[in-house]
């Protein structure tokens, strides 16, 4: 993902021609946020779970140096059932694993069809189950999965929607988000964490600009693109009555977006959250936006306030992710 703008340029005189922006997802990643911020010291790097958690910590820390968009997302709570045993299919690598779903811990199972890694020295792995992690020891290597990794990567039948609770930007030099010290995010988590697992969905967007303006000085910065996108996504997903944001914050954002909209003569911003190959994890929903795997909408800004117009899901070709 690209680096962060070092500084924000002062606002230029108003653009000489209207601009229309189209933003689509270029890169995307889910992180199980609870694993990092629920307290306790991370396990040793020599432990497979410790390596997994530290890699995730390094990845999230790296995003805090960049200006990307994130969604705090709630998904139904799922754990491995340690009171029941895993089982193998006859003459296959189909592994059936008991799980517990929701706050009430409803019993169920998932079945995954494993593929033997090239480096494996065992024909069938040794299986170790923890409440959140599955370890597959193939002899020469150990694969580590969380329960949600399995749900996302395999056809388990547990196709839950992802509820968007909060929209923000990752750029955070103080690391409050990565350390679990972000006030609004914590309040959103606390309201849902008994029956839900919390994730950060981090995304980088490509923004294409359609304009007759030819002066390069009239091109908006990456930071401006992200600021406008954040405003549009907050307006699309979040309830105006949400107590996660103060009136001062709302007013400052409206003033800021109004200034940017005027400066860059932004007539319309189209946002497309869909992309080829999206799985059920990307069935995003809120009461305001409804549920969709492809949230596609136009946004205009009136005095800094986003005005949203939902588009049909087939209104434009489905984008492809980068790489």
Tokens of 232: 């549009």
pLDDT exceeds cutoff 70 at 89 = yes
Percent of the chain whose pLDDT exceeds 70: 95
Residue 71, pLDDT above cutoff 70: yes
Q: Work out the pLDDT band at 217, boundaries 50, 70, 90.
A: confident
For range 135-147, the mean pLDDT = 96
pLDDT at 79 over 50: yes
pLDDT score of 3 more than 80: no
pLDDT at 159: 86
In tens, the pLDDT along 272-300 reads 999 999 999 999 999 999 999 999 999 99
Residue 5, pLDDT above cutoff 70: no
Q: Using one digit for the tens of pLDDT, what is the confidence trace for 220-274?
A: 999 999 999 999 999 999 988 778 999 999 999 999 999 999 999 999 999 999 9
Mean pLDDT taken over the chain: 92
Give the pLDDT confidence of 9-63 residue by residue, as tens digits. 566 778 899 999 999 999 999 999 999 888 666 667 779 999 999 999 999 999 9
Residue 4, pLDDT > 60, answer no
Confidence of residue 1 (pLDDT cuts 50, 70, 90): very low
Domain ranges of the chain: 19-77+160-310, 78-153
Residue of 258, 248, 234, 241 whose CA lies nearest to 308: 234
The answer to whether residues 53 and 31 touch, using CB atoms and an 8 Å cutoff, is no
Is the per-residue pLDDT at 213 higher than 50?
yes
Given a contact cutoff of 8 angstroms between Cβ atoms, the answer to whether 232 and 253 are in contact is: no
Q: Tokens for 187?
A: 């309040």
pLDDT in tens, 101-121: 999 999 999 999 999 999 999
The predicted pLDDT at position 323 comes to: 63
């Amino acid at each position: 993902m690209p680096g962060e703008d070092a500084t924000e340029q002062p606002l230029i005189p108003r653009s000489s021609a209207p601009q229309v922006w189209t933003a689509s997802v270029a890169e995307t990643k889910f992180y199980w946020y609870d694993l990092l911020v629920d307290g306790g010291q991370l396990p040793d790097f020599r432990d497979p779970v410790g390596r997994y958690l530290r890699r995730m910590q390094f990845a999230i820390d790296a995003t805090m140096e960049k200006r990307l968009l994130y969604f705090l997302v709630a998904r139904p709570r799922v754990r491995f059932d340690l009171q029941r045993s895993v089982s193998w299919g006859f003459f296959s690598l189909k592994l059936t694993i008991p799980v517990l779903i929701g706050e009430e811990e409803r019993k169920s199972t998932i079945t995954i069809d494993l593929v033997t890694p090239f480096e494996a020295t065992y024909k069938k792995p040794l299986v170790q189950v923890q409440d959140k992690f599955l370890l597959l020891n193939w002899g020469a290597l150990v694969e580590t999965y969380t329960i949600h990794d399995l749900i996302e990567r395999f056809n388990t039948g547990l196709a839950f929607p992802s509820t968007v609770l909060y929209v923000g930007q990752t750029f955070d030099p103080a690391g409050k988000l990565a350390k679990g010290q972000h006030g609004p995010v914590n309040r959103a988590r606390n309201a849902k964490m008994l029956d839900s697992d919390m994730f950060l969905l981090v995304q980088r967007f490509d923004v294409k600009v359609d304009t007759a303006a030819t002066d390069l000085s009239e091109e908006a910065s990456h930071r401006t693109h992200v600021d406008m996108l954040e405003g549009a996504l907050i307006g699309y997903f979040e309830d105006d009555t949400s107590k996660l944001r103060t009136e001062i914050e709302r007013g400052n954002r409206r003033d800021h977006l109004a200034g940017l909209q005027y400066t860059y003569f932004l007539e319309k911003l189209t946002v497309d959250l869909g992309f080829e190959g999206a799985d059920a994890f990307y069935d995003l929903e809120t009461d305001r936006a409804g549920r969709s795997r492809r949230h596609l909408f136009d946004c205009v800004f009136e005095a800094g306030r986003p005005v949203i117009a939902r588009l049909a899901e087939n209104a434009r070709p489905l984008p492809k992710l980068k790489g």
